[in-house]
A and B are shown apart, each in its own frame.
Chain A
Amino acid sequence: EAGVAQSPRYKIIEKRQSVAFWCNPISGHATLYWYQQILGQGPKLLIQFQNNGVVDDSQLPKDRFSAERLKGVDSTLKIQPAKLEDSAVYLCASSPRFMNTEAFFGQGTRLTVV
């Protein structure tokens, strides 16, 4: 079974620029998560989708971050404008359902804001 695909793997941008990350979850997985992982810390949940609806986005900085999951499959996470503190690895994960099942992670996108 194919895993969670993310692109790009690496991105370097200047502060105040915009950036977008793409995620293709495992086929048939209804739940999709975006996490931010700052170096030396655990992943922090930014947003959780169930199909194409948002379940939780309480920790998403909505003044600069946005995410969508069109047709309940692929998802994009956008940052506009980026700040230095947004430098992190952005992880996408998916699971068959929202409870009592593991989430499968992609390799992540390492973002560096200079």
Chain B
Amino acid sequence: GESVGLHLPTLSVQEGDNSIINCAYSNSASDYFIWYKQESGKGPQFIIDIRSNMDKRQGQRVTVLLNKTVKHLSLQIAATQPGDSAVYFCAENVYNQGGKLIFGQGTELSVKP
């Protein structure tokens, strides 16, 4: 069925290290993907997006990789900071379902000082 899932529910990293958060999606009709960050008590905030005609996109300290062959997304955060501690969700925009935006379960990132 339609689902966006994450491989790891929690991730703990040392401050200054790089973080990698993974996501698997199941709908081959999805052509746009977004990573969101959600801090406690707040709504999800946009981090970075990628379209299906790309395999990599870079932002400030973040990189998203898309592997359509195995339906896998990853979010890489360079030099992770305490302020990066949050829950991270990937979401897919399903073109053939009216543009539904479907979220995965999330990965909680904890940064140790």
Contacts and interface: CB of A to CB of B under 8 A. Distances in A.
A43 B46 contact: no
Q: Majority SS of interface residues in chain B?
A: strand
A55 B32 CA distance: 18
Nearest to B90: A42
Contacts of B97: 56
B83 interface: no
B44 A105 contact: yes
B89 interface: yes
Given A105-B44, A107-B43, A99 B32 contact: yes
Contact of A43 (B31, B41, B51, B103): B103
B43 A56 contact: no
A99 B100 contact: no
A60 interface: no
B73 to A, nearest CB: 14
B99 A41 contact: no
Interface string A9-50: 000000000000000000000010101000001111100101
Given A100-B31, A100-B32, A100-B93, A45 B99 contact: no
B59 interface: no
Interface in B72-113: 89, 91, 93, 95, 97-106
Interface of A: 4, 31, 33, 35, 41-45, 48, 50, 55-56, 91, 93, 98-108
